[in-house]
């Protein structure tokens, strides 16, 4: 009997040790993943929900936080002011962006959709539109030289979305984009609509827009940016070819160029805006732990709201609707508008050969 009691005691101690190791290991694993912050023990989604329930909000021009950290036809294109120098005086617009952005939990991030099979493609020069299939979805790649005298060759498909094989211009100009090659769903400058895009769609009907873009910009010496370009119109029946009613841009990185801004003082002093809070008076937005500074201005008759990453990045997967929600909350975008297209590409002022869109996807829900 005594031997049996000793045996049971040993077994219980063994089980307790195993459970203690599992709990302790889980604690340390959680600390490694979350850096043992003040929200230890809560998932990112729970943290975001708690912040939302606290009713956090920001005044116009202040910062707003969304979500929690996740792993890993004008000569001047919409959304930019090339450098050197201050903002182009001709791009000044009346100040806009009034309202109070609201902190909301992150929706579907779409993380994990990189690496789908890419089918189709060819070589493009001049203005051409090429069909491409990524995973099960249909996309269009738009080889889009803008500046007069620009010569460009793209290779599309063949294990990547597209890359710039050659690019030159007979009329260099630090204040004009040479080209904006992009991949997109919906309809854009070329008037050709991608198949099965679920666009156009009213902003009020959008739920989530998981998307991701992967580039090699940090490895290429060029003047320009890597950016999303998103079209909104009041008319559901927009057919492309002309300017939308407003552009929304999400800049991953920029070299030697700044976004458009409204009229008033401009304090970037010839530097890219990615690390300077003082470049804009429109405040900032945090999505998935990443800070984006808002810039607002106009190109021709259409305004542009640009979100510029404070820390440059080559790739990211996120929910685009977080930016659309912020833009509507601040009255940059009218909630009665329709989403017409989502594009990802490079606005190039100089250099650019070798720039590659390695991966891209977007789903409109």
- Residue 218 CA, chain-centre distance (Å), reads 16
Residue range(s) in the chain whose domain bears CATH number 2.60.120.180:
51-362
The pLDDT value recorded for residue 62 is 52
Q: 195: which residues sit within 8 A by CB, 6+ positions away?
A: 138
Question: How far separated are the first and last CA of the chain, in Å rounded?
Answer: 67
Model confidence over 21-40: pLDDT tens digits? Answer: 222 222 222 222 222 233 33
The pLDDT value recorded for residue 255 is 86
- Residue 220 CA, chain-centre distance (Å), reads 19
Mean pLDDT of 251-261: 84
More confident residue, 267 or 297: 297
The pLDDT value recorded for residue 55 is 38
The pLDDT value recorded for residue 229 is 97
Instruction: List residues bridging with 193 in a β-sheet.
Output: 187
Q: Give ∠ CA 310-316-318 in degrees, rounded to 5.
A: 100
Q: Please report which confidence band the pLDDT of residue 81 belongs to, taking 50, 70 and 90 as the band edges.
A: low
Question: 51-362 belongs to which CATH class?
Answer: mainly beta
Tokens at 202, concatenated: 């009213």
Mean pLDDT across the chain, nearest whole number?
A: 74
Residue 355 has pLDDT above 80, yes or no: yes
Residue 49 has pLDDT above 80, yes or no: no
Residue 87 has pLDDT above 50, yes or no: no
Question: What span, in angstroms and rounded, lies between the C-alpha atoms of 208 and 202?
Answer: 13
Output b/e per residue, 304-326; b: 16+ Cβ within 10 A: bbbbbbeebbebbbbbbbbbbbb
Find the range with the poorest average confidence among 49-53, 249-253, 294-298, 356-360: 49-53
Q: 84: which residues sit within 8 A by CB, 6+ positions away?
A: 174, 256, 270
- Residue 217 CA, chain-centre distance (Å), reads 14
Confidence (pTM):
0.74
Residue 123 has pLDDT above 90, yes or no: yes
The pLDDT value recorded for residue 174 is 76
Model confidence over 185-202: pLDDT tens digits? Answer: 999 987 899 999 999 999
Model confidence over 134-156: pLDDT tens digits? Answer: 999 999 999 999 888 899 999 99
Find the range with the poorest average confidence among 14-18, 179-183, 294-298: 14-18
Q: Between the CA of residue 151 and those of 76, 82, 103, what are the distances in Å?
A: 17, 20, 45
């Amino acid at each position: 009997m005594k031997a049996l009691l000793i045996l049971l005691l040993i077994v219980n101690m063994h089980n307790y040790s195993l459970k203690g190791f599992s709990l302790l290991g889980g604690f340390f694993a959680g600390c490694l993943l979350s850096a043992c912050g003040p929200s230890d023990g809560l998932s990112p989604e729970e943290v975001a929900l708690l912040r939302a329930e606290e009713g956090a909000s920001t005044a116009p021009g202040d910062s707003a936080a969304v979500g929690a950290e996740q792993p890993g036809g004008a000569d001047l294109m919409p959304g930019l002011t090339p450098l050197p120098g201050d903002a182009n005086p001709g791009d000044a617009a009346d100040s806009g962006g009034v309202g109070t952005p609201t902190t909301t939990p992150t929706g579907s991030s779409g993380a994990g959709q990189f690496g789908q099979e890419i089918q189709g493609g060819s070589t493009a020069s001049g203005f051409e539109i090429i069909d491409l299939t990524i995973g099960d979805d249909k996309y269009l790649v738009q080889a889009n030289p803008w500046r007069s005298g620009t010569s460009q060759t793209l290779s599309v498909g063949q294990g990547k979305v597209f890359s710039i094989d050659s690019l030159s211009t007979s009329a260099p100009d630090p204040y004009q984009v040479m080209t904006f090659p992009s991949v997109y769903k919906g309809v854009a400058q070329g008037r050709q609509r991608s198949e099965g895009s679920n666009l156009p769609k009213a902003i009020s009907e959008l739920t989530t827009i998981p998307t991701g873009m992967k580039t090699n910009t940090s490895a290429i010496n060029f003047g320009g940016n890597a950016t999303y370009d998103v079209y909104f119109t009041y008319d559901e029946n927009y057919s492309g070819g002309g300017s939308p009613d407003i552009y929304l841009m999400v800049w991953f990185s920029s070299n030697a160029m700044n976004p458009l801004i409204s009229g008033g003082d401009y304090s970037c002093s010839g530097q890219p805006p990615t690390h300077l809070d003082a470049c804009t008076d429109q405040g900032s937005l945090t999505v998935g732990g990443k800070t984006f500074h808002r810039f607002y201005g106009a190109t021709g008759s259409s305004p542009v709201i640009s979100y510029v990453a404070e820390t440059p990045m080559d790739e990211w997967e996120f929910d685009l609707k977080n930016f659309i929600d912020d833009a509507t909350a601040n009255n940059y975008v009218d909630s009665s508008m329709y989403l017409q297209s989502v594009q990802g590409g490079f606005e190039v002022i100089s250099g650019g050969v070798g720039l590659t869109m390695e991966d891209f996807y977007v789903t409109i829900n």
